[in-house]
Structure 1
Amino acid sequence: MNGTRNAPAAENWLPIPDFPGYEVSDLGRVRSFMRSAPIIMRQQFTSTGGYGHVGLHNGTSHTRKVHSLVLLAFVGPLPKGMVRRHLDGNVRNNALSNLRYGTQSENLLDQREHGTNARSNKTHCPQGHEYSPENTKMDGGSRICRTCHNQQGRDAYVPKVRRDPMAKTHCPKGHAYDGTVRSGGYLLCRICHNAWARADFAKKMAAR
């Protein structure tokens, strides 16, 4: 019998950039050399999404998703405007062969194909507008309805109705307005105005 028939696939390791003493493999495993012998690190999985992550230390503690470490080490930094994709839809399969950088549109197509994102299967926004290519924009991985977004922008610039100052009956100190209007169209409280005038006059006399 051929003893190599069931031999495990070769595993290649590379250092993790910015984290001396750690390596990641093209099969999605992480090991630490922080002790005398290398240790395969146990992965934790997020409660939302199920992504595997590990804790790393380079003077301060950091938590990093394993698939991001694999791509960083074997492919390079995440290009601007791109996202990390799991080609088979299984977020726990962090083998390099299952990972790619791609556009958010490609990522949503992956999720829709594998049925892993219920929101991506929706065809209309909560207000009933269709998520057509012309009516959809992306923001941080989420679809935005352009019709709703534009309406919200217009609503934000509608000037607020200014309260009619003539509708007030009393000044902030509780004195009843007598109907006197000062320059600018605002009601004038005679009591407060006279008190201010007397105080101002006394202050000027004291300064002489």
Structure 2
Amino acid sequence: MEKPGDLPRRRAGKTKVDTETGCRHVSCEGKTQLVHCVVFRLSVGEIPEGFQVRHADPGGRHFTLGCDPDHLEAVPKKEALRRRDWESARARRTHCPHGHAYTPENSYPDPRGFRQCRTCHSERVGSPRVPRAV
């Protein structure tokens, strides 16, 4: 018989951390799921259609690494997107969607201020000349 104290050790071996976002994933019910969503479903109930589980408490603090059910809430997807800190999410990215590193030599800000990959830009336009940062 398994002891409750063994659960953290056993679960740690089955939990994977996304290095880009810091989110933890776990295999549950035969598929990979975000840990905070599994905890919400087990502790609070099903996630309503069109809602996402967010890490927050009534005091407005944001807990991205914890899975305390008291710090989780289901909010409509539009609200979850509105609350997201897009600037810090982009800053944590180390590679473009095609896997090229965002180094000072291989990236530049586009007119909107978003970081772009020089390698991808060169492949798209077929030219080695890419706009340089001002």
Q: TM-score, normalising length from structure 2?
A: 0.49
Larger Rg: 1 or 2?
1
